[in-house]
Each structure stands twice: as C-alpha cells, then as structure tokens.
Structure 1
Amino acid sequence: MSNDFICKFIKPDKSIADFVESIGMFHNQSNEAREVVVMPDGRVDLFFSQSASEPFHVTLIGLDTFPEKRSLPPQTLAFDINFKPLAAEYILQTSLADISNGAKDLPDGFWNFNADDLKDFDAFYRKATKKITELLPLEVDERKRKLFDLIYSSNGEMSVKELSEKVSWSSRQINRYFNQQFGLSLKTYCNILRFRASLEHIAEGKLFPELNFTDQTHFIKEIKKFSGVAPKELSKNQNDRFLLLSVLKQQ
C-alpha cells in the first residue's frame, strides 16, 4: 500500500465483540483523489470523516450486495466502526433496509462526536467503546444471536434450511426479518460471507474454491458478482484499489 494512504483495523474490546467486528481508519494523505472499489463484506459501517473539501460528518452505510467504485477525496481522514448486523437493531436501533447498497448522513453531534475526535485514533477507539458499552442491551433475542453465530462460524456455508432448524425459527420468518431489517435475504447474506472468507484465500494466491462452491465456474461467477473481476485479477489488486483485500494482505 502506498505511503500516502494508510489503513488499519483492530479488534474491539471483548465487552462489545458481539456487536462490533473491528474499529479502524483510512487516511488518504495525498492531494489527489484515490479511486477504490468497495466490495460487500457483510458489515455495517459507521464512518466519522472529513477531507480537504468536506467538513466533519458521520455516515451510516448499509449492507452492500454488489461492488461499487468510489473516490476518496484528497486529504480524507475517516475513522470507521465495523458493526455486525445485529448491532443495527440493538445498538444503532434502526432498520437498514432503506440504505441497502446506500448510505445516510447522521445528525450533527451524533454520539457527541466531532472533528476533534479525529485527532487521535486511540482516543477515538476508547470513546467509541465507552459509548457502545453504554448502549449494550439488557437482553437479545437468542434466536438472532445464535443465528448470526452459526452464519459467522460456518462462513455462510450453512443452508437456510439448516440454519432455520438449528435456531428453531422458520425460514420464512428469518427472511422476513432480514428483508425488513437489512434489505436482503438470508441466502444473499450468507453468500456475501462466503465471498469474504474466500478473499482470505485469494489474498494468499489461492485462486480455486476452498469453500463450498459447486465447481470452479461457480466460484469465478460468485467472485465476479461481488468484486466485479475474476479471482486472478482480484488477486493482483492493482494500485491497491480493492481495499478489503489490501487489509487482508496486511494481516
């Protein structure tokens, strides 16, 4: 990754790990815009950012289902909380259905964050952790908690039928929940997690299916669906434009 672009992600405190996957930052220190490709990763992003052309603002990004080219303006600094989907209901207390493949700006003063909080990443991490801890629910629907645990542990490879049976929740009700809360089906979400798990293999140069794909053709089709390119081109990651893959290669 070039010296004028920095990104890093760290794991959350265990106290909030049921709802947060990581907390990180992007910094485009260049005086030129940076073109990137954002790929679906099954996470809900809460960005706190500013750039040379944009004042401090907070943006909530829903679950993506296809790749999208974006441009990071010059001198962009963004701190990012990567939430697990369960956080939408219990921490953010909102539905994401209306921002599937989209985003919305949140009000000024959201969670009492401002531009000064972008001066120190460690201080931001502590403040975000404290705020999320304050918002932790007293109870969580155990069907939902177990459902997401199974989806994550299987890298999205369990069928909807099997998940339904294991959590004692009908597939019809699960899909209604997913569509109303996230704007996509459970099967689509599982496919996204399987794709993300495959990225770890592609980052290691493994260009054949390591997970439950029917065959090589199916594997290539799914990778192209969520990244826009075939596994070979994705692996090359020219100009580090696939940010998610760049982060994986750093780990």
Structure 2
Amino acid sequence: MTSIAYKTIQPDNAIKAFVENFWCLHNNSDEDKEMIILPDGRVDLTLFKADAEPLQIIRSGIETYPDRVILKARTLIFSISFKLTAVEYIFKNSIAEYLDYAEFLPHDYWSFNENDLKDFDSFYLKASNKIKELIPKDVDNRKQKLFDLIYATNGAITVQEISEKVSWSARQINRYFNQRFGISLKTYCKIIRFRSSFQHIKDGKLFPEENFSDQSHFIKEVKKLSGVSPKDLRINKNDRFIQFSTLRSK
C-alpha cells in the first residue's frame, strides 16, 4: 500500500484487559481509496480528519458482515481498538443498537481535539491515561474470565464450555451478550475465529487451522464474513481488504 501509511502501538499492562491496540492510518495520496472492512470483533474509537474538514470522532459497534467504505484523499485516522470488556467497564453502556453501525460522538469527546492528530505517540499517551482514569476498581471475575477464554482460544470454544468454566449459565451469558453487544456469544466466537484465520490466509494456508470442522465449513464461514473465498481474500486485489493489507507475510 504505497499510498497508505499504517502503524500500531500495543497497550501497556495497565489497560491490556480492555484495549487490543492503538493504530493509525493515513491516506497520503490525492485520490480516494475504496476499502472493505472485515468483521473482527473489535469496538473502535476513531478520530479522523480529511483536508479542510473538521475532526470527526466515532465509536463502532460490532460488525457481522464486510463493510465497503471510502477513505478520502489526505485523510488521517487515529484509533483505539477495544476488547468487549471496555463496553461495560470503560464506556459503561450498551452498543447493541450500533450493531453493524457506528455512533458519532461529540468533537471534544474525552477532551480530544485536532491537535491530537499531530503526533501518534502523544495521542497514545493521552488516550492511555484517559482509559486508566476510567477503569473501575471492581470487575466481575466471571466476565473477565469469559473474555479471557474467548481471546485465548481465538473463539474456538463452545458456549457450553465457557459456561462450565466461568460458572455462569449459557442462557445468562447469551442474554448479557445480546443486551450489551447486540449479538449472541456463539456468533461473536465465530467472528473471532474468522479473524484469527487472517494471518494463515495471508500466508497462503488456505485450509482450516482454528477448529473448523472441515474445508467446506472453513470456506463457507470465510465467504459469509468476508463475501469472498479464502483464495480471493489472500489475493486481496487492489489492497481493498484493509486488515489484510496491514498484515505482514511470514
């Protein structure tokens, strides 16, 4: 992606239970860039600005299908990718109504402003400090363990297995997921398992490695969540699948 600059920073230990990473994306060219955003199970808080346009801040809900977007010329994006634990304990609300959608936030949300887009490292420090201020003293151990299991297994775990390990009924867990995130736990695990296959596909491993039942099941799930076959996803014509374009081949 010669016209697109991309960088990530990993969170420090104090916030890693709530934050996956910080990332920035810059369209350096004078042309708009068409991209497809794939479902990845994250909740992003994003600051973005195109030339001669005001700062915009949005927070995404969970995505369940590929979303075609246009990255305008000379647009700069700074974003925080949150784990689902942040929804209840950092944002302290529900994102169920924003499934496959994004919420526009006030231009001064968390005291952000256009100057915060001048330096990514400074943005990372300011955002990290704000998140640390918002972390509550008490976090439900069942919920923390639940999310730890999902991310540690890359979603390759059943609802029943999680229920037994965290001592929380499957019915209560699904009610929590639907009310808080607008999606069932089973569906969310499928998205996380799909995301975990990105690197394998990028490296040319077009076969299941994350507990898919067989090759047919793998292809079906990839097509459902990306709109294309694993082979087409790997080819990534015109770098349109942005999450693949930012991965490094091993």
TM-score between both structures, scaled by the size of structure 2:
0.97
Q: Secondary structure at the match of 1:117?
A: helix
Partner of 1:42: 41
Partner of 2:113: 114
Identity of aligned residues (%): 54
Instruction: Tell me which amino acid in the other structure corresponds to 1:174.
Output: I
Q: Give 1:52 shift.
A: 2.3
Instruction: Tell me which amino acid in the other structure corresponds to 1:145.
Output: Q
8 A contact 1:164–1:170 mirrored in 2: yes
CA RMSD of aligned residues (A): 1.1
Q: Secondary structure at the match of 1:184?
A: coil
Partner of 1:28: 27
Instruction: Tell me which amino acid in the other structure corresponds to 2:149.
Output: L
Q: Give 1:14 shift.
A: 1.2
- Equivalent runs, 1:197-212 vs 2, <5 Å: 197-212=196-211
8 A contact 2:203–2:249 mirrored in 1: no
8 A contact 1:53–1:73 mirrored in 2: no
- Equivalent runs, 1:79-98 vs 2, <5 Å: 79-98=78-97
Task: Return the alpha-carbon distance in structure 2 between the equivalents of residues 173 and 248 of structure 1.
Answer: 36
Residues 183-209 of structure 1: CA deviation (Å, up to 9, x unaligned): 100000000010011111011110011
1:19 counterpart = 2:18:
yes
Instruction: Tell me which amino acid in the other structure corresponds to 1:162.
Output: E
Q: Secondary structure at the match of 1:58?
A: strand
1:170 counterpart = 2:169:
yes
Partner of 2:9: 10
1:155 counterpart = 2:161:
no
Task: Return the alpha-carbon distance in structure 2 between the equivalents of residues 53 and 227 of structure 1.
Answer: 33
Partner of 2:53: 54
Task: Return the alpha-carbon distance in structure 2 between the equivalents of residues 66 and 248 of structure 1.
Answer: 20
Partner of 1:235: 234
Q: Give 1:237 shift.
A: 1.1
- Equivalent runs, 1:128-143 vs 2, <5 Å: 128-143=127-142
1:103 counterpart = 2:87:
no
Instruction: Tell me which amino acid in the other structure corresponds to 1:71.
Output: I
Residues 1-34 of structure 1: CA deviation (Å, up to 9, x unaligned): 22x2111212111110000000010101111110
Task: Return the alpha-carbon distance in structure 2 between the equivalents of residues 152 and 142 of structure 1.
Answer: 15
Q: Tell me which moved more, 181-190 or 5-14.
A: 5-14
Partner of 1:78: 77
Q: Where does the alignment leave 5 or more consecutive residues of structure 2 unmatched?
A: none
Q: How many residues are treated as equivalent by the alignment?
A: 250
Task: Return the alpha-carbon distance in structure 2 between the equivalents of residues 54 and 141 of structure 1.
Answer: 42
Residues 138-195 of structure 1: CA deviation (Å, up to 9, x unaligned): 0101110000000111110111011111100011110010011111000000000100
Q: Alpha carbons of 1:250 and 1:73: their partners in 2 closer, same or farther (altered >3 Å)? A: farther
Partner of 2:218: 219
Q: Give 1:54 shift.
A: 3.3
TM-score between both structures, scaled by the size of structure 1:
0.97
Q: Give 1:250 shift.
A: 6.2
Instruction: Tell me which amino acid in the other structure corresponds to 1:135.
Output: L
Q: Give 1:53 shift.
A: 5.5
Q: Alpha carbons of 1:53 and 1:238: their partners in 2 closer, same or farther (altered >3 Å)? A: farther
Q: Tell me which moved more, 6-15 or 117-126.
A: 6-15
